[in-house]
Amino acid sequence: MKTGALIFSLLLLSTGLRAQSRITFENDEFRLIFNDKAQAVSLLHKASSEECLMRGVRVPAFTAMQYRPYDNENHLTFVTRPTTYKANSLRRDGDTLRIGFEHLEYIAVVSVKVTDHYIIFTPEYFIKNKQLGINLETRIDELTFLQLPVKNRGHFGEWLNVAWDDKVAVNLLGTDVHTMIDDIDEGGYHLMRAGSMKKVRLTGTGAALIVTNTGRLLDRIEEVENDFGLPHGVADRRHEFYPYSYYECRNVTPETVDEHIKYAKMGGFRMMVIYYPDFASSMGHFPWKESYPNGMKDLQFVTGKIKDAGMIPGFHIHYNKAQINDPYVTPVPDTRLNLRKIFTLRKAIDENSTIIEVEENPEGITLYEGRRMLKLGNEIIEYGGYTTQRPYRFTDCKRSALGTHAAPHGYGMKFGLLDVDNWPIFIRFDQRTSLQDEVADRLSYIIEKAGFRFVYFDGAEDVGRPYWFNVPYAQLRVYEKFVKKPYFSQGACKGHFSWHILSRGNAFDTFIPEEIKEAVNKRHVPSAAYNADNFTAIDFGWIAFTPPGDNTIGIQPDMVDYICAHAVGWDSPLSLVGKLDQLKAHPRTKDNMRLFRNWENAKLSDYFSAEQKAMLRTITKDHMLLVNKSGGYELYECAQIKNIAGNDSHVRAFVFKRHGKNWIRIWHTSGSATLKLNIPRSKIRMYTPAWEKDKIKTDGQGIALQVGDIRYLETELSTEEINEIFRNVTLR
């Protein structure tokens, strides 16, 4: 017998851990079976009699990892690298599993709780047994406490960790923010895993296994959320306001809020969101701007106006970093700001030194403008460059950076590379400290006093490692401080646990008008499909209301239609960034805002059928929505008339079929013009969006068509004739 096998046999005898041939757990909905090799061999959905595991695949249901072998005999034998030890024995002892691993002198004890609709797995503790030879204290760095080869079912939601089709859903769901949920796509199946990490929390975490009819999945998740006191991700997704799109103010003040409300109502928006820089001069302490001289009373006035207008006030926040002008950074930087790398002073420096000599190689650290910051005690120093061979030095150093004060620093001092945000006006927090909670308290106060009921968690990616944990952990620490929980939330980045907090997907940053349709195709639509697999809508925004100018055509009605149509197709809201100067400058503001309103009202009235929504997901087609004389909605596919007047970009026109005839929607992008068409006046009729008949002037043997705001033309001309006529039109 080999030494390793002998050791493990003695371990089994000493602990009484003998493998059992079959271990079964089952509830009202499914049955899970493990074999004597600690492998899951069956996961049966009872109602459909469907086997949910990939047939013929045998993987350990449990594994333990050490970042290198620690046991004396193991590190003398095996290579120093992250080492995964597979479970090779399993024993049930009441409500616990005792799991043995190959080459490892540990038994993992995992409790199993069976409920009517889900089964909970929780790693409780480890038993380390005396081994042959030298006994040293060692550790487990990571534990996989459930791993299942779940066969593909048509959809896989990576965020929620769920495989599903129209009939059955299999979900391995973390019950704790400390639970590490992951999967590996193996082609025909996903290896779904629940684990823990010593750096975060190795024991006391948990995961719920759910196997149910797909139509009941959210009900089952809601049970888990209620039973474990998690944020109410399911209830938020079912909230009556969930489909609402929003108007995000820029530079809103008590003096300008009425104007913002006017435009928001023009667009049919039922939510208005305020960005914290509108009233606060920095992120962190949130000191009031001069435009809010009465502080909270002024902010309450603004949100009160929004509520009185029948809209929901929302709050766009940063929360996990401090602005470089905030008291957390200057003149004395807080000790709880995050440091990305630690260095040791090789030589003492005085307050005038511009070269800093260190023991460690700085190779690979940032040289990005605005991010080259070192924190030595209470001083921040900006370095110009560094050497990567001994003696290691930071060069061209600027002292007293960010308003801090230069000081001498002694030999051997430990200091760090300051964690400056990619957007270098922020310094990130150390999530291991109380700083996040301190800022969360301030945000909670603002939200409660001002009455915000929607929150956008911006900059969620701006945390330290491990990202899978710190991204949702920072969100949770803020969310738990809220006195009244928001109706729903969005965020810029997410981890598995974030599903319970961020009930709507993120918004993208704005795109220029010339790229916005392509951006919808390449960014929004794939994101919508991805999030739909996780039972979540995304935000088809942010949309910039860019007016026409020397370098841009500006956002035009067909672009508004394109975004709105795809958002409706994916059951998603959208968001518009409202800047008063842009809204006032754009000549098509009324037209664009009317289109936003029509799409939003039609969506919320359940006008669109499932078939229409499926059609609107097509990424290459333009669609338009009419409000007819009776106030009803009419949806049409349309095609742009190209090369008007040769190739003039100032007039845009689209052809669509309505009541057996060709119709044209036409407008001027930046003002007005007259088109001379060589057709009889009897061939065409013109209407305003309110269906008032507009006069068409004759011009010799043709007509003179005044083009400005959107107009609709009805004609008996064929599509070919229309394209030919508009290609040869005279524009003046």
For residue 100, which of 70, 60, 49 has the smallest C-alpha distance?
Answer: 60
As separate numbers, helices (DSSP H) first and strands (DSSP E) second, the chain gives 15, 43
Q: Dump the DSSP string for 282-307.
A: STTT-PBPTT-TTTHHHHHHHHHHHH
**Which amino acid belongs to residue 684?**
I
Q: Is the confidence at residue 6, as pLDDT, over 70? A: no
Q: Determine which of 12-26, 201-215, 434-448 has the lowest per-residue pLDDT on average.
A: 12-26
702 — pLDDT class (breaks 50, 70, 90): confident
Q: Determine which of 76-85, 176-185, 467-476, 478-487 has the lowest per-residue pLDDT on average.
A: 76-85
Q: Which residues contact 548 (CB under 8 A, 6 or more apart)?
A: 554, 586, 587, 669, 670
The single-letter DSSP state of residue 203 is S
pLDDT value of residue 135: 64
469 — pLDDT class (breaks 50, 70, 90): very high
Q: What's the whole-number mean pLDDT along residues 278-295?
A: 98
56-108 pLDDT tens trace: 999 999 999 999 988 878 878 889 899 999 999 999 999 999 999 999 989 99
635-687 pLDDT tens trace: 999 999 998 987 777 999 999 999 999 999 999 999 999 999 888 888 999 99
**Hey, which CATH number is domain 3-230, 3.30.70, 1.20.1260, 2.70.98, 1.20.1510?**
2.70.98
pLDDT value of residue 452: 98
Q: Is the confidence at residue 257, as pLDDT, over 90? A: yes
Extents of the domains making up the chain: 3-230, 246-322+431-500, 339-418, 513-618, 641-731
Tokens (6 digits) for 471: 């991204």
User: What is the C-alpha to C-alpha distance for residues 634 and 653, in angstroms, rounded to an integer?
Assistant: 18
Q: Is the confidence at residue 2, as pLDDT, over 50? A: no
pLDDT value of residue 429: 98
pLDDT value of residue 11: 41
Distances in Å between the alpha carbon of 503 and those of 7, 473, 536? 50, 16, 7
Q: What's the whole-number mean pLDDT along residues 440-460?
A: 97
Q: Determine which of 86-90, 341-345, 359-363, 643-647 has the lowest per-residue pLDDT on average.
A: 643-647
157-206 pLDDT tens trace: 999 999 999 999 999 999 999 999 999 999 999 999 999 999 999 999 99
Domains 246-322+431-500 and 641-731 share a fold: no
Tokens (6 digits) for 272: 């208005």
pLDDT value of residue 682: 87
Write phi, then psi, for 557 (nearest 5 degrees). Answer: -55, -40
The residue ranking higher by pLDDT, 360 or 681, is: 360
3-class SS of residue 532: helix
3-class SS of residue 401: helix
Cite the beta strand spans of 7-141 per DSSP E: 22-26, 30-35, 40-45, 50-51, 63-66, 83-93, 96-101, 106-114, 119-128
Q: What's the whole-number mean pLDDT along residues 324-343?
A: 98
Q: What's the whole-number mean pLDDT along residues 535-558?
A: 97
User: What is the C-alpha to C-alpha distance for residues 403 and 332, in angstroms, rounded to an integer?
Assistant: 8
**Superfamily of domain 246-322+431-500 in the CATH hierarchy:** Aldolase class I (3.20.20.70)
3-class SS of residue 120: strand
CATH of the domain spanning 641-731: 2.60.40
Q: Is the confidence at residue 55, as pLDDT, over 80? A: yes
User: What is the C-alpha to C-alpha distance for residues 471 and 475, in angstroms, rounded to an integer?
Assistant: 7
731 — pLDDT class (breaks 50, 70, 90): confident
pLDDT value of residue 4: 42
- Residues 543 and 579: beta-carbon distance below 8 Å: no
113-155 pLDDT tens trace: 999 999 999 999 999 876 666 666 788 999 999 999 999 999 9
pLDDT value of residue 183: 97
Q: Is the confidence at residue 320, as pLDDT, over 80? A: yes
573-623 pLDDT tens trace: 999 999 999 999 999 999 999 999 999 999 999 999 999 999 999 878 899
Percent of the chain with pLDDT over 70: 96
Q: Is the confidence at residue 17, as pLDDT, over 90? A: no
Buried b (16+ CB within 10 A) or exposed e, 184-216: eeeeebbbbbbbbbeebbbbebbbbbbbbbbee
pLDDT value of residue 138: 83
pLDDT value of residue 134: 63
Q: What is the CA radius of gyration of the chain?
A: 31
